[in-house]
Amino acid sequence: MQKRKLGNSNLEVSAIGLGCMGMSWSYGPPKDKQEMTSLLCGAVERGVTFFDTAEVYGPFSNEELVGEALAPFRGQVVIATKFGWAPATTGEARWSALNSRPEHIKEAVEGSLKRLQVETIDLYYQHRVNPEVPIEDVAGAINNLIAEGKVRHWGLSEAGAQTIRRAHAVQPLTALQSEYSLWWRQPEEEVLPTLEELGIGFVPFSPLGKGFLTGKIDQTTTFDSSDFRSTVPRFNPENRKANQALVDLLGRFAEQKKATPAQLALAWLLAKKPWIVPIPGTTKLHRLEENLGAMGVELTPEDLRAIESASSEIKVEGARYPEIHERLTGR
């Protein structure tokens, strides 16, 4: 298994991690606990050392699943989780109930430590920037948790460049987690240059476009009402039909490399920077193995230019989030 370090930190992880959210939440009904435990153990056996969860996934149940399944591998794996919501709320209200006040962070970390069955959280992200709490206060709270030995590294999720700079000045960031893929390249404008300048790693979530870039979803696909993609403008049937052009393009490049569209999409991310570690999520072992196969797909600088030039000619249709969620990004 190839390893990578997140930015200038000493945090070394597998070059591809595993996003665990969909095992418990957001992509339809929760999956079978035993099956997901087997998948998590299978990932470790295949060399994955980087696992991503959050207290709000469930809420709480995903951290419990990950903590229990990975307990036998303590010390061999890196678990990242997140704070920043008021997780007692449910439904759509959750997306406006932010809470990153220092006293809440102090409470949240205790809950996550217990559910993950660890003494220290390897990587602790602020899930969304809370405009009512200065980021310096958040960074100061994390500084205290690091001093107490409850957190090793910290990061932000979906933050803008100026917030990243302000946070990093108080307590150096190890990673930023945000959406990034061939159908969402906005981070290239300001965020990626900022991360490179400051020596911060980048952890792209939804590197396969919430499943769309795999080629397994088309305009006829139906989503369960508990699948959040049913609310995402980019996933309405008309936009899926228009966006199929990008998947078709990926397929043509993948064929040249004897790879799948998913493998090509991940290989593109890996080839962009050595400090980028994508975390595709899956609930199926064969998909996990397919994703890990991306590390064997070599893309030259010429390949990258060709892929980016061709894909930039395709206009991706539809917003990537419902409006209530879109407002919480890029702050």
The string over 172-206, giving b where at least 16 C-beta atoms fall within 10 Å of a residue's C-beta and e elsewhere, is bbbbbbbbbbbbbeebeeebbebbeebebbbbbbb
Q: Is the pLDDT of residue 330 over 90?
A: no
Report the SS3 class of residue 211.
helix
Answer yes or no: are the C-beta atoms of 244 and 218 closer than 8 Å.
Answer: yes
Catalytic residue, from 27, 57, 124, 125: name it: 57
Q: Is 73 a member of any domain?
A: yes
What residue has token string 């699943």? 65
Q: Is 27 a member of any domain?
A: yes
Q: Is the pLDDT of residue 91 over 80?
A: no
Q: Is the pLDDT of residue 321 over 90?
A: no
DSSP-assigned letters across all residues of 233-295: GGGSHHHHHHHHHHHHHHHHHHHHTT--HHHHHHHHHHHH-TTB----B-S-HHHHHHHHGGG
Q: Measured at the alpha carbon of residue 85, what is the angle toward residues 328 and 137, in degrees to the nearest 5?
A: 85
Residue 72 CB coordination number (10 Å): 10
Please tell me the predicted confidence (pLDDT) of residue 324: 75
Q: Is 250 a member of any domain?
A: no
pLDDT band with cut points at 50, 70 and 90 for residue 97:
confident
- Domain around 131: 3-211+272-297
Q: Is the pLDDT of residue 93 over 60?
A: no
What digits encode the pLDDT tens for the residues 163-193? 999 999 999 999 999 999 999 999 999 999 9
What digits encode the pLDDT tens for the residues 110-137? 999 999 999 999 999 999 999 999 999 9
Q: Rounded CA gap, 73 and 49, in Å? A: 9
Q: Rounded CA gap, 171 and 102, in Å? A: 14
Q: Is 192 a member of any domain?
A: yes
Bond before 59 cis per omega within 30 degrees: yes
Q: What is the CA radius of gyration of the chain?
A: 19
Q: Is 320 a member of any domain?
A: no
What digits encode the pLDDT tens for the residues 226-264? 899 999 999 999 999 999 999 999 999 999 999 999 999
Average pLDDT over residues 75-90: 85
Cα separation values, 268 from 192, 236, 298, 307, Å: 15, 26, 9, 9
Q: Is the pLDDT of residue 25 over 60?
A: yes
What digits encode the pLDDT tens for the residues 37-65? 999 999 999 999 999 999 999 889 999 99
Closest CA to 38 of 2, 6, 68: 68
Task: Return the CATH number at 91.
Answer: 3.20.20.100
Please tell me the predicted confidence (pLDDT) of residue 326: 81
Task: Give Dmax over CA atoms of the chain in angstroms.
Answer: 54
Closest CA to 48 of 17, 94, 93: 17
Angle between helix axes 261-272 and 237-256 (nearest 10 degrees) is: 80
- 129: exposed, middle or buried (Cβ count in 10 Å: 0-12, 13-18, 19+): buried
Q: Is 8 a member of any domain?
A: yes
Please tell me the predicted confidence (pLDDT) of residue 269: 98
Total domains, the chain: 1
Q: Measured at the alpha carbon of residue 259, what is the angle toward residues 21 and 244, in degrees to the nearest 5?
A: 65
The answer to whether residue 27 is catalytic is no
Q: Is 306 a member of any domain?
A: no
Answer yes or no: are the C-beta atoms of 136 and 121 closer than 8 Å.
Answer: no
Q: Is 222 a member of any domain?
A: no
Report the SS3 class of residue 222.
coil
Higher-pLDDT residue of 4 and 91 is 4
Average pLDDT over residues 8-18: 97
**pLDDT over 70 percentage in the chain:** 97
Q: Rounded CA gap, 203 and 201, in Å? A: 7
Please tell me the predicted confidence (pLDDT) of residue 61: 95
